[in-house]
Chain A
Amino acid sequence: MKATKSGLLVETGDAALTRGMEGSRGNRISLIRAGRAALRVLNWLCMLLLVLVFALPFGWMISTSLKTMPETMIFPPEWIPKQPVWQNYADAWNTGPFLRYFMNSVIIAIGILICQALTIIPAAYAFARYQFIGSKLLFSVVMVTLMIPAQLIFLPVYLELSALKLLNTHLGLILPFASSAFGIFLLRQGFMQVPEELIEAARLDQAKEWKIIAKLMVPMVKPVLITFALFSFIAHWNDYFWPLVMTTNETARTLPLGIAKIREVEGVATWNTLMAGNLILVAPILVVFFFSQRHIIRAFVYSGVK
Chain B
Amino acid sequence: MATIELINISKKYKDETIIADLNLTIKDGSFTVLVGPSGCGKSTTLRMIAGLEQITGGEIRIDGKRVNETAPGHRDVAMVFQNYALYPTMTVRGNIEFGLKNRGIAKRERDTLVADIAEIVGLAPLLDRKPQQLSGGQRQRVALARAMVKKPKVFILDEPLSNLDAKLRNQMRTELIQLHKRLGTTFVYVTHDQVEAMSMGDEIVVMNKGLIQQADSPMNLYYDPANLFTAQFIGTPAMNVLDTRDVSGLMLQSESTVSHIGFRPERAQIEAGQQLDGFRISGEVMTRESLGAENIYQIKAASGVFFVKTFLEPLYEAPALSVVVPYEQLYCFGPDGKRLAGVKVQERQLAMAGGV
A200 touches B52 (CB 8 A): yes
A301 to B310, CA, bound (A): 57
Chain B residues near A204: list those with CB within 8 A. Answer: 50-52, 72-73, 77-79, 99
When distances are taken between beta carbons in the complex, the residues of chain B under 8 Å from A207 are: 73, 98, 102
- The answer to the question of A201 belonging to the interface, with a C-beta cut-off of 8 Å to chain B, is yes
Chain B interface size band reads 20 to 34
Question: Which residue of chain A is the closest to B88 with respect to CB atoms?
Answer: A220
- The stretch among A59-67, A146-154, A211-219 that forms the contact with chain B is A211-219
| CB-based A-B contact count at 8 angstroms | 61
Contact B87 A216 (CB under 8 A): yes
Known: A204-B78, A204-B79. A198 touches B73 (CB 8 A): no
Whether, in the assembled complex, A206 has its beta carbon less than 8 Å from a beta carbon of chain B, the answer is: yes
Judging by beta carbons under 8 Å apart, are A197 and B72 in contact?
no
Interface size on A, residues (CB 8 A): 18
In the complex where A200-B52, A200-B72, A220-B89 touch, is A206 in contact with B83 (Cβ < 8 A)?
no
Q: What are the residues of chain A within 8 A of B182 when measuring CB–CB?
A: none
Q: How far is the CB of B4 from chain A (nearest CB, A)?
A: 16
In the complex, which residues of chain B have a beta carbon less than 8 angstroms from the beta carbon of A13?
none
* Most chain B beta carbons < 10 A, residue from A197, A208, A220: A197
Contact B102–A198 (Cβ < 8 Å): no
Q: How far is the CB of B226 from chain A (nearest CB, A)?
A: 34
Q: Do B85 and A200 touch (CB < 8 A)? A: yes
How far is A219 from B95 in the complex, measured between Cα atoms in Å?
A: 14
A266 adjacent to chain B (CB < 8 Å):
no
Name A206's contact: one of B52, B79, B102 (CB within 8 Å). B102
Is A205 engaged at the interface, CB distance under 8 Å to the other chain? yes
0 or 1 for each of A218-238: is its CB under 8 Å from B? (1 = yes): 011010000000000000000
Residues of A within 8 A of B (CB): 195, 197-198, 200-208, 211, 215-216, 219-220, 222
- Nearest 6 interchain pairs by C-beta: A206-B73, A205-B99, A219-B89, A197-B85, A201-B85, A206-B102
Apart from A197-B81, A201-B86, list 10 A-B contacts with CB within 8 A: A195-B83, A197-B82, A198-B87, A198-B88, A203-B71, A203-B72, A204-B51, A204-B79, A205-B102, A215-B90
Give residues in B with beta carbon < 8 Å to A: 50-52, 71-74, 77-79, 81-83, 85-90, 98-99, 102-103, 146, 150
